[in-house]
């Protein structure tokens, strides 16, 4: 299970807790924690930690009390690329702690232990601000907000079931939301001469080829067949793809669809190529087709910067950093720390604490 430094043994923290790398014998205990305390499923755990390709295989740190596993923090190896150069980062997931052992600082202690023992080039995480505050120590740098852009087609789909009065108000506003998106669609630019194809399954070879046509000089997950084959098997999501261009595909977008508590979300999971001025016409045509194909979705979302914010705005997408979306959801934040506690902030010759060095999309933010 673990790919931490071989010299790693254990660390005592708090009142009688022991942190150590997870082992195969801990598997059932860790699985139970994620299912019973973290709201995960058997299928999710198997996909996340058993089926991942070797570069993605995740080390886990466990917290013990009296010999019992009461907490765990998972991570995954993420192959980063910038131009022709590659490195491996450790992406930390959300810690999970048994109810009787919460509010004792275990999440931050487990994340610190994982970071100090990591052999990768850097350690990173993408979490909401509330989770970050509970999990990260002073060595971490909050690099940039990772906004999610929402095209709200049914406002009730953004609100928690417990907020019934607000849900009732949101339902009343739904016709206004649909009118707004309809107006934005009518005003959005039309890309003449662009052929758009919908694929019921993702043509991975095509997407790898599109990615390789314009690999950006900015840190991002390397797209190859192994990565896509695993990433697009995420439980609870179903994936299809769209390609667009003239005389062959020039742009591709992967869409993921899920329904949670009756709310249907369609996410723009990945966009390739990640950069390029000439892709805008094809992007516009593909985005128009996606919106047209999903009129019954409560919300269509897009994370990261792969699709220009100005283009998303033309189709009625609003970031979760702005009102009114910010009232019901919170943006994620990219945070980084040196691996091994050595203080080195450079990866592939760039300072990982500089916001301009990153080009992330939804595909890097693996459902945790």
The rounded distance, in Å, linking the Cα atoms of 16 and 66 is 8
pLDDT in tens, 99-113: 999 999 999 999 999
Contact in structure between 115 and 329 (CB atoms under 8 Å): no
- Is pLDDT above 80 for 366? no
The rounded distance, in Å, linking the Cα atoms of 106 and 67 is 16
The rounded distance, in Å, linking the Cα atoms of 252 and 273 is 7
The partner residues of 336 in beta bridges, in order of sequence, read 124, 141
Per-residue model confidence (pLDDT) at position 102: 94
pLDDT in tens, 303-338: 988 999 999 999 999 898 887 777 777 889 999 998
What's the rounded mean pLDDT across residues 54-65?
82
- Is pLDDT above 80 for 160? no
The rounded distance, in Å, linking the Cα atoms of 100 and 109 is 17
Residue in 127, 139, 81 with CA at minimum distance from that of residue 345: 139
The rounded distance, in Å, linking the Cα atoms of 187 and 300 is 18
pLDDT in tens, 242-280: 999 988 999 999 999 999 888 899 999 999 999 987 899
What is the distance, to the nearest Å, from the Cα of residue 134 to the centroid of all Cα atoms in its chain? 19
Q: Which of 5-14, 153-162, 183-192 has the highest mean pLDDT?
A: 5-14
The rounded distance, in Å, linking the Cα atoms of 187 and 316 is 10
**SS3 of 266, please?**
strand
Per-residue model confidence (pLDDT) at position 322: 85
The label of the residue with tokens 């940039």 reads 144
Write down the pTM of the prediction.
Answer: 0.87
Per-residue model confidence (pLDDT) at position 260: 85
**pLDDT: which is higher, 1 or 55:** 55
The rounded distance, in Å, linking the Cα atoms of 22 and 118 is 13
Domains and CATH numbers, the chain: 11-146+333-364 (3.40.630.30), 148-327 (3.40.630.30)
Per-residue model confidence (pLDDT) at position 117: 84
- Is pLDDT above 80 for 187? no
Per-residue model confidence (pLDDT) at position 50: 78
Residue in 184, 334, 198, 214 with CA at minimum distance from that of residue 253: 198
């Amino acid at each position: 299970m673990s790919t931490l430094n071989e010299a790693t043994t254990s660390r005592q923290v708090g009142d009688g807790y022991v942190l150590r790398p997870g082992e195969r014998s801990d598997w059932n205990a860790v699985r139970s924690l994620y299912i019973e305390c973290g709201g995960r499923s058997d299928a999710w755990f198997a996909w996340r930690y058993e089926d991942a390709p070797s570069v993605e295989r995740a080390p886990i740190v466990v917290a013990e009390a009296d010999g019992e596993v009461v907490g765990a923090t998972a991570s995954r190896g993420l192959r980063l690329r910038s131009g022709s150069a590659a490195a491996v980062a450790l992406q930390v997931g959300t810690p999970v702690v048994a109810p009787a052992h919460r509010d004792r600082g275990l999440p931050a202690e487990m994340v610190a232990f994982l970071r100090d023992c990591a052999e990768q080039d850097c350690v990173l995480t993408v979490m909401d601000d509330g989770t970050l505050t509970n999990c990260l120590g002073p060595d971490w740098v909050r690099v940039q907000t990772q906004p999610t852009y929402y095209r709200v087609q049914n406002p009730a789909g953004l609100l928690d079931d417990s907020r019934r009065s607000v849900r009732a108000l949101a339902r009343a506003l739904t016709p206004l939301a649909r009118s707004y998106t309809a107006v934005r669609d009518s005003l959005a630019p039309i890309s003449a001469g662009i052929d758009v194809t919908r694929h019921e399954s993702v043509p991975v070879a095509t997407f790898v080829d599109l990615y390789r046509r314009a690999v950006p000089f900015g840190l991002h997950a390397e797209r190859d067949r192994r990565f896509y084959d695993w990433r697009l098997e995420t439980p609870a999501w179903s994936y299809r793809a769209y390609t667009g261009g003239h005389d062959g595909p020039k742009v591709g977008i992967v869409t993921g669809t899920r329904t949670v508590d009756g709310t249907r979300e369609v996410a723009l999971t990945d966009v390739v190529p990640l950069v390029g001025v000439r892709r805008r016409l094809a992007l516009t045509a593909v985005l128009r087709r996606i919106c047209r194909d999903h009129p019954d979705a409560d919300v269509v979302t897009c994370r990261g910067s792969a699709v220009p914010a100005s283009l998303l705005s033309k189709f009625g997408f609003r970031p979760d950093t702005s009102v009114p979306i910010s009232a019901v959801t919170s943006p994620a934040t990219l945070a980084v720390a040196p691996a091994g506690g050595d203080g080195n902030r450079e990866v592939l010759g760039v300072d990982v604490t500089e916001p301009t060095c990153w080009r992330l999309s939804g595909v890097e933010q693996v459902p945790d």
